[in-house]
Amino acid sequence: MKISTKHMTALYNLSSIQFNALEMHSFLNLINIVSLQLELLQSELDHNHLIKPLLDQTRDLTFLIKKRLHREYLPDHLKKLEDSVLDLISELEKTHADDSDFEMAIKEAREIFEDVFKVMGVRIAELTDYNKKPSKWLFYTKNEFEQDFELFFHAVEKNSRGKYRIVHNIAEQEPTDYLIRFEINSELDGERLAMPIIFKDVIRDLIANARKYTPPGGTISILIHQTKKSIKFTVSDDGVGIPANEMDHVFEYGYRGSNVKDRPTMGGGFGLTKALYTTVQFNGDMWIDSELNNGTSITIELPVPDKLLIQE
């Protein structure tokens, strides 16, 4: 199904707070992960007096972001959160230095938090560029793009706390593993990609959605194809799919399919709204095809500005 003008009402009806949440979507998701891991620590350790203030800090920061915290102040707030969380872990490591029952849980929590804050650092750098010029396109090498996504996949896997692995070779796949097929082709010297800053964020969000709605053991295929005229991205999964009579509603802010409403997630339900917004912003095209219980495929193609390759 190619997205048409009738789907644009999902954007016209956005409030200023919802619009801001779209642009800050990735940060809200990362803060939700931090909050979830703190809650898990709280349930495992008897240190509510140490952990509760940090949970309050994550909730206050989420509220501030949704209420349009000025973007130039966001890195400082996130750095304070990172410092507070890692200080907490150091304190717990000292407190439970001789307690083998909790030592592993604390070590695992540290690894997860460090991975999340590494990803957050990458996104802060992207946000800084975006703030300077929202419409700006950037060049990436295939290698640095793949490394960024390896970090992303590693953080997602760690956050599962052993519930699943992410593998890239079908020969390694166990019944609870996700098989990720990630392929990049480029006609720009075979090595470079050109895209709007925010598009990288959209790619991450849609991959995260594919993982979220695909049971462990499933396959997620990601293809990026770069030409001198366009950048094209496709993500396909063999997950739960979308009911046919709900396809026209999936771009509405906060909308979740009736078949996944009861499934706990950390997202806000507006990844597809953000993808549509970005597609429209950069004069692109978008397609979505889905079959209940057989998976979903989403494709976005953005035209490369004529002057971009001349100015590089």
286-312 pLDDT, tens digit per residue, is 999 999 999 999 999 999 998 776 455
pLDDT at 57 over 60: yes
In sequence order, what are the beta bridge partners of 180? 220
Residue pLDDT, tens place only, 23-52: 788 888 889 889 988 998 888 777 678 899
Query: pTM of this prediction?
Result: 0.85
d(CA 221, CA 207): 9
Q: What CA–CA distances, in Å, run from 235 to 10, 69, 73, 199, 299?
A: 22, 32, 33, 14, 7
pLDDT at 120 over 60: yes
Closest Cα to residue 176, out of 191, 166, 161? 166
The alpha carbon dihedral of 159, 161, 167, 170 has a sign of: negative
* Residue 296 near residue 239 (C-beta atoms within 8 A): yes
pLDDT value, residue 258: 81
pLDDT value, residue 259: 81
Residue pLDDT, tens place only, 145-183: 999 899 889 888 988 888 999 999 999 999 999 999 999
Residue pLDDT, tens place only, 245-256: 988 888 888 888
Higher pLDDT, 128 or 223: 223
Percent of the chain scored above 90 by pLDDT? Answer: 49
Full residue range of the structural domain in which residue 269 is found: 5-311
pLDDT at 59 over 60: yes
Model confidence at 84, pLDDT cuts 50, 70, 90, reads very high
Residues 6+ apart with CB under 8 A from 99: none
How many whole angstroms from its chain centre is CA 198?
A: 12
Q: Please, is 141 exposed, middle or buried when counting C-beta atoms within 10 Å of its C-beta (0-12, 13-18, 19+)? A: middle
Residue pLDDT, tens place only, 226-285: 999 999 999 999 999 999 998 888 888 888 888 876 665 555 678 899 999 999 999 999
Closest Cα to residue 297, out of 206, 201, 231? 206
Here the CATH number for the domain that contains residue 131 is: 3.30.565.10
pLDDT at 89 over 80: yes
> What mean pLDDT value characterizes the chain?
88
pLDDT value, residue 106: 87
Model confidence at 66, pLDDT cuts 50, 70, 90, reads confident
Model confidence at 69, pLDDT cuts 50, 70, 90, reads low
Percent of the chain scored above 70 by pLDDT? Answer: 95
Amino acid identity of residue 260, one-letter, is V
Overall number of domains in the chain: 1
